[in-house]
Copies of this chain bind each other. A is one copy, B any other.
Amino acid sequence: MVNIGIIGAGRIGQVHARSIVSGVPGARVAKVADPYIKEEVRQWMEGTGAKVVSDYHDILNDPQIDAVLICSSTDTHAPISIEAIKAGKHVFCEKPVDLSPAKIREVEKALAASPKKLCFQVGFNRRFDHNFEALRKATLAGKVGDVQFVRVSSRDPNPPAPQYVAVSGGIFLDMMIHDIDMVRYLSGAEIEEVYARGACLIDPEIGKAGDVDSATVSIKLSNGALALIDNSRRAAYGYDQRAEVFGSLGAVAITNDSESTAVLSTEAGVTAEKPLYFFLERYMASYQKEMRLFVDAVTNGTEVPVGLKDGLMSIRIGLACKKSLAENRPVRIDEI
């Protein structure tokens, strides 16, 4: 039985707690640390048998705890990761590990220096989504032959608040980082060079906060293939999550999930449902799956499915996109 400590009981911390309670065999939430936990969350957590504490050091110092989930604010991810590694804990860290490659490399060093082999998994949950997994599986099985082109389209139902945008690292590090990871995951190749465009077409306040709300990136992959990503902070019809892998033998594409398959035909047209509302609805099952795989890795000493290197690469690529947009030129990842 893997004893888990969750650091940070906000939205994503709660998602992981629920996942573990309802369907991660071999693991239990032993402790939860959050100085500002909401009362109803505390009650629910305690109802499942977890102990709720204020200070996360209570988790790191507890010899009963095998692994920690770092679900606190982004700026604390790297330092807490390092502390946890030093305390000999396996770590599941929410994305991004940090907005700075240098800090992620410090985590890498701490991990390499650990006398005990520790699992360190990064929360790129989309890799465990049924649709993206089906794409990957078909591609790995050779159904599309040699990959020549990858496309990822990702649009949110609503833009974030401008004050969030200001601290988020911007559209490339906050939103497109998932799509960047998907291009790597789906192509099985490394991103070598990016050319980014952006525009502020949805909310001028986002522009004032120094960011764009619409963006495209043109990518060159290490195997010679090409890729395109397009992002929008607001699609009127909801959360749009599509992707395509094209190769020498064909293409495989995924489209959106919705509440039901119902199609209504009337004088007005033939109408299907909109996509599931947002990432919690759309990707709920993937959060449970990534947690199961993390517990597997901890239990059996196997490789984690998304490691620190994946966390580092996506940040470097995101920063290359920012630089490309700022300088209006293609930027090689090794510049970062």
Contacts and interface: CB of A to CB of B under 8 A. Distances in A.
Contacts of A73: none
Contact of A251 (B235, B248, B261): B235
Given A134-B262, A226-B230, A273-B270, A237 B218 contact: no
A302 interface: no
A254 interface: yes
Interface string A260-276: 11111111111111100
Nearest to A243: B262
A256 interface: yes
Interface in A130-144: 130-131, 133-135, 138, 143-144
Interface string A40-84: 000000000000000000000000000000000000000000000
Interface string A140-176: 0001111011010001000000000000000000000
User: What's the number of copies of this chain in the assembled complex?
Assistant: 4
B264 A254 contact: no
A259 interface: yes
Interface stretch (A8-16, A89-97, A196-204): A196-204
A192 to B, nearest CB: 11
Contacts of A267: 236-237, 249-250, 274
Given A131-B262, A134-B273, A274-B269, A201 B218 contact: no
A257 interface: yes
A250 B263 contact: no
A139 to B, nearest CB: 10
A137 to B, nearest CB: 8
Nearest to A266: B250
The bracket for how many chain A residues form the interface is 35 or more
Contacts of A251: 235, 237, 240, 264-265
Contacts of A300: none
A126 interface: no
Contacts of A265: 235-237, 240, 250-253, 274
Interface of A: 21-23, 130-131, 133-135, 138, 143-146, 148-149, 151, 155, 195, 197, 199, 201-202, 214-218, 220, 224-226, 228, 230, 232, 234-237, 240, 246, 248-274, 328-330
